A and B are shown apart, each in its own frame.
Chain A
Amino acid sequence: MKILIADDERLSRHLLQKTLERAGYEVTAVENGRLAAEHLCRLDGPRLALLDWVMPELDGPEVCRLVRQQRKQVHVHIVLLTSKESKKDVVVGLESGADDYLIKPCDPEELKARLRTGLRILQLEDKLVEAREDMRFKATHDSLTSLLNRGAVMELLSRELVRTRREKASITILLGDVDHFKQVNDTYGHAVGDEVLREVAKRLLSSARSYDLVGRYGGEEFLIVLNNSDARYALARAEQIRNAVARLPVQTTRGPLAVTMSLGVLASGTEGPCSVEDILYEIDMALYAAKAAGRNCSKLVEPKFACAEPAAT
């Protein structure tokens, strides 16, 4: 575990460094408050710190305040070292954001025990952050395919449309539906249906770029948002994606299954005041057209559906 020691007095600094290195810490020792703040405010900076109260440039409490302001993403456990013993001084130190304090010179066993307490707090924080991130992922991702879920992909699409309009950029939106998926479920069971959906999701993800959005829109429907995608190539991109799904049979526990997808495609069409719902309605119509055309194909939204600026009256 990394730890920062800040003390302008060389002898104490050396003693602390040796004591903590012997206890297994990876020690960085500095001689003033400014250097301490620099180290502690770095993204990968130490999360344990021993700060002398009286130091040149910035004193211990000032470093505490700075670190609390600037490094909000993670908790840094700060112990102030002081020869000050009055209650007033202790209160000032703790109010500045310190977690603990020790009177100098400190007993090595007490010092190590206090730092172990700090480590327990940091470990607890790490577990809480991990749990929060896990919950955030579950709230925004589909549990079967791990793609963005409907709510998340719709929200992101909405943001992308605003950004595209603001930047006068282009966007391509695809709505894909696995062909004859009901038959897969009815013939092989829902477990195999799930296997197919997982594999289709994987193929869609691998055919998209890192900054594209891929989400599960509904049962066997997937929404793909290609940001900054040239409208002239929208249909070609849709065909690439369709081929990526259909190229090889999906290996299931019941054997290989040929899987295809039909796609509705909207290229740009973001100039007007269309809502996400209007846009999806139009793409849905194009998807129906693809189904009606025999499936396993992509159809562009007809120009008559495309959003446009309201005509001037």
Chain B
Amino acid sequence: MCETESPNVQVVLNIPELLAQLEDDRALLGELLEIFKEECPPLLRSLAEAVSGKDARVVERTSHNLKGMLSTLSAPRATSAASQLEQMGRTGEMSGCRGTLTILEAEVVSLLVELENCLETAEQ
């Protein structure tokens, strides 16, 4: 699976790009995955609370942090959703927040699966 993804398709995880960033360091991939598992859930929770409470400033800041993590992991679809939420928080135009948050949450779940698969493939 690691070898078949095309970098030009809007995939959950752009594996060639990720491995290029990591300079093919598979151990580092494992470390980043652990950090992601620790950091992402509380950020998503804060984001969900901020969306419910219509706190635009926290939506912007939390989405920005998530966007940074997701783009580092070469996850274009999740990055795009986080970027949209950041924009909504910045402009205060919050009407689409809940729907985009649902998309983001689903993308993060898919991403975790893909990252685990990639790491497993790499370790074989």
Q: How far is the CA of A83 from the CA of B25 in the complex (A)?
A: 24
Name the segment of A4-12, A86-94, A133-141 touching the other chain. Answer: A4-12
Q: Knowing A11-B35, A105-B21, A108-B21 touch, does A18 contact B28 (C-beta < 8 A)?
A: yes
Q: Quick check: A105 and B72 within 8 Å, CB to CB?
A: yes
**A72 contacts the other chain (Cβ, under 8 Å)?**
no
Q: Quick check: A12 and B23 within 8 Å, CB to CB?
A: no
Question: Which chain B residues (61-87) contact chain A, with CB distance < 8 Å?
Answer: 64-65, 67-69, 71-74
Q: Which of B31, B67, B74 contacts A83 (CB 8 A)?
A: B67
Q: Quick check: B23 and A105 within 8 Å, CB to CB?
A: no
Question: Which secondary structure characterizes the binding site on chain B?
Answer: helix
Q: Which range contains the number of A residues in contact with the other chain?
A: 10 to 19
Q: Quick check: A54 and B64 within 8 Å, CB to CB?
A: yes
Q: Quick check: A83 and B20 within 8 Å, CB to CB?
A: no
Write out the residue numbers on chain A whose beta carbons fall within 8 Å of the beta carbon of B20.
Answer: 107-108
Q: Knowing A105-B74, A108-B21 touch, does A15 contact B69 (C-beta < 8 A)?
A: no
**A104 contacts the other chain (Cβ, under 8 Å)?**
yes
**A182 contacts the other chain (Cβ, under 8 Å)?**
no
Q: Quick check: A9 and B69 within 8 Å, CB to CB?
A: yes
Q: How many A-B residue pairs have CB under 8 A?
A: 49
Closest chain-B Cβ to A191's Cβ sits at a distance in Å of 62
**B39 contacts the other chain (Cβ, under 8 Å)?**
yes
Closest chain-A Cβ to B47's Cβ sits at a distance in Å of 14
> Per-position contact with B for A248-272: 1 when CB-CB < 8 Å, else 0?
0000000000000000000000000
Q: How far is the CA of A12 from the CA of B39 in the complex (A)?
A: 12
Q: Which of B23, B65, B71, B73 contacts A108 (CB 8 A)?
A: B23
> Per-position contact with B for A25-64: 1 when CB-CB < 8 Å, else 0?
0000000000000000000000000000010000000000
Q: Knowing A11-B32, A15-B32 touch, does A104 contact B21 (C-beta < 8 A)?
A: no
Q: Knowing A15-B28, A18-B28, A105-B74 touch, does A9 contact B23 (C-beta < 8 A)?
A: no
Q: Quick check: B21 and A14 within 8 Å, CB to CB?
A: no
The chain B residue with its CB closest to the CB of A103 is B71
Write out the residue numbers on chain A whose beta carbons fall within 8 Å of the beta carbon of B67.
Answer: 83
Q: Knowing A18-B25, A19-B23, A54-B64 touch, does A104 contact B71 (C-beta < 8 A)?
A: yes
Q: Quick check: A107 and B21 within 8 Å, CB to CB?
A: yes
Closest chain-B Cβ to A224's Cβ sits at a distance in Å of 63
Q: Knowing A11-B32, A14-B35 touch, does A104 contact B23 (C-beta < 8 A)?
A: no
Q: Which of B64, B65, B72 contacts A15 (CB 8 A)?
A: B72
Q: Knowing A8-B65, A104-B71, A105-B71 touch, does A14 contact B23 (C-beta < 8 A)?
A: no
**B119 contacts the other chain (Cβ, under 8 Å)?**
no
Write out the residue numbers on chain A whose beta carbons fall within 8 Å of the beta carbon of B68.
Answer: 7, 9, 11-12, 83, 104
Write out the residue numbers on chain B whose beta carbons fall within 8 Å of the beta carbon of A8.
Answer: 65
Write out the residue numbers on chain B whose beta carbons fall within 8 Å of the beta carbon of A22.
Answer: 23, 25
The chain B residue with its CB closest to the CB of A18 is B28
Q: Quick check: A12 and B69 within 8 Å, CB to CB?
A: yes
Q: Knowing A22-B23, A107-B21 touch, does A12 contact B72 (C-beta < 8 A)?
A: yes
The chain B residue with its CB closest to the CB of A56 is B61
- Identify the B interface with A (CB < 8 A): 20-23, 25, 28, 31-32, 35-36, 39, 64-65, 67-69, 71-74
**Residue contacts A-B, CB under 8 angstroms, 11 given:** A8-B65, A9-B65, A9-B72, A11-B32, A14-B35, A18-B28, A54-B64, A104-B71, A105-B71, A105-B74, A108-B21
Q: Closest 6 A-B residue pairs measured CB to CB?
A: A9-B68, A11-B69, A105-B72, A12-B72, A11-B35, A105-B71
